[in-house]
Amino acid sequence: MNEDKSTRYHRLQRRALLLWTFPALALLWAFIGGNASLRLRDFAVAMTGSGPSDPAAVALYSLALMVAYHALLFPLAFYQGFVLERRYGLGAAGLSTWLLGFATGAAVVAIPSVGLAVLVYSTMRWWPQGWWIASAACLAGALFGLARIAPVALLPMFYRLTPLDRESLRTRLTALCQRAGIPVLGVHVWGLGEKSRRANAALIGAGSTRRILLSDTLLADYSDEEIEVILAHEIGHHVHADIRNSLIAESALITFSLAIGAHALGSMWPVLRLNGPSDVAGLPVLIGIGAVMSLAARPLLQAMSRRNERRADGFALALTRQPAAFVSVMRRLASQNLAEARPSRTAVWFFHTHPPLDERLETARQHQDRPGVGALSPDPGSLVEVRRVESASGVLRLD
């Protein structure tokens, strides 16, 4: 197979994800259909001296489930996040640093997950018929709340963040915000270089905690014009409320998944030998349905993301009127971050949050002949794939 370095890297990343996902789902359904979930429920009930839907039993059961999940996830995370990153020259963290980061991340995910499980089962006891409505509302609120606190409470646990102190660049970026007609966003230096050799930028947070992050690896090697174009792209996400809209879409997916889960538990609990729909041993059913719904909705969510990114690219080019700087920074990011130059249609459809690179290049070309806009260089090279990574923290970042 005649592949370049970036193509091999992304193919191995995708293959590892697929090889893990389907066996993991199969194990989850086997866990549900066998005795394992019932035994874990009985253990949690015996240890806490409470009922199978009481908060103490739910907390212990869900904590054990999270530990098992991260144990199952570890080989994939290690291969993708450490082995491949080091093999292809993208990782900078040593093994001990990576392991500490994985453990910290697991704890950050597990603790609120246990709390959310307790919340869901509490709503089941409070409103047996419509619990999924109350749970969806609470989970959506938690999602928006997490997006607001992530920049000040969660991200600093993994990276060093400091205010940008380059006065000339700060002045330039402040003027850019003013030209866009938005309040000046806080711009911080993101200490990415301690763990990765990638260059990156991100828009995170919500409301008063929204801020723009520029990685130290980006600030070290890129020109002010290139950084300005990147910031303009992130401002485009802010202007079009992409984080808010993404959280709304995630909330809708959660609501739909819980509705299906409520129907499944209501009809299947005797078959699964549960004590009732609110028996905590049925929690894997909700998790499994959520996982399947996420996979099914992925192409639609990716398509929405690519639309947002086309719009942000167009906004950045219109605001800065620097298509040459746009192409320049994307070339350099492509080389530094091993962006996939020519992904297949299937890869774009299911994995890519941004449009194909040729399409993004055409967007830049459409701006080159406008009055007052500099021409592009004759050899356009390849544009970097810019991914939006969305989580409960509401992060938009350039990879």
Q: Please, are residues 235 and 177 in contact by the beta-carbon 8 Å criterion?
A: yes
pLDDT per residue rounded down to tens, the chain (399 residues): 457 888 899 999 999 999 998 888 888 888 888 889 999 999 999 999 999 999 999 999 999 999 999 999 999 999 999 999 999 999 999 999 999 999 999 999 999 999 999 999 999 999 999 999 999 999 999 999 988 888 888 889 899 999 998 888 888 888 888 888 888 778 899 999 999 999 988 878 877 788 888 999 999 999 999 999 998 998 999 899 998 999 999 999 999 999 999 999 999 999 999 999 999 999 999 999 999 999 999 999 999 999 999 999 999 999 999 998 988 888 788 888 888 878 888 989 999 888 777 777 778 888 775 655 544 433 333 233 233 323 333 344 444
The beta-carbon contacts of 5-9 under 8 Å, at least 24 apart in sequence, are 5/88, 5/338, 6/334, 6/338, 6/339, 6/340, 6/341, 7/340, 7/341, 7/342, 9/84, 9/88, 9/338, 9/340
Q: Please, are residues 179 and 318 in contact by the beta-carbon 8 Å criterion?
A: no
At residue 373, the pLDDT reads: 55
Which residue from 255, 254, 286, 256 is spatially nearest to 268, judged by alpha carbons?
Answer: 286
At residue 381, the pLDDT reads: 32
At residue 379, the pLDDT reads: 34
Which residue from 3, 10, 95, 87 is spatially nearest to 352, judged by alpha carbons?
Answer: 10
At residue 371, the pLDDT reads: 58
At residue 2, the pLDDT reads: 52
At residue 34, the pLDDT reads: 82
At residue 186, the pLDDT reads: 81
Q: Please, are residues 336 and 9 in contact by the beta-carbon 8 Å criterion?
A: no
Helices (DSSP H) in 181-241: which residue ranges?
Answer: 216-221, 224-239
Q: Give Cβ neighbours of residue 371 (< 8 Å, ≥ 6 apart).
A: none
Tokens representing residue 46 in the block: 């015996």
DSSP annotation of 290: H
DSSP annotation of 80: I
At residue 374, the pLDDT reads: 47
- Going from the C-alpha of 375 to that of each of 154, 233, 327, 372, the distances in angstroms are 42, 20, 11, 10
Lookup result for tokens 């890519």: 352
Question: What span, in angstroms and rounded, lies between the C-alpha atoms of 181 and 179?
Answer: 5
Question: What span, in angstroms and rounded, lies between the C-alpha atoms of 90 and 87?
Answer: 8
Which residue from 257, 346, 259, 249 is spatially nearest to 301, judged by alpha carbons?
Answer: 249
At residue 375, the pLDDT reads: 43
Lookup result for tokens 């990782």: 91
Would you tell me how many other CB atoms lie within 10 Å of the CB of residue 66? 18
Which residue from 223, 396, 237, 206 is spatially nearest to 315, judged by alpha carbons?
Answer: 237
| Total length of the chain | 399
Helix, strand, coil shares of the chain as percentages rounded to 5?
A: 70, 5, 25
SS3 342: coil
At residue 382, the pLDDT reads: 29
At residue 26, the pLDDT reads: 86
At residue 353, the pLDDT reads: 87
Tokens representing residue 164 in the block: 């940008």
Angle at 213 (CA atoms; ends 210, 217), nearest 5 degrees: 175
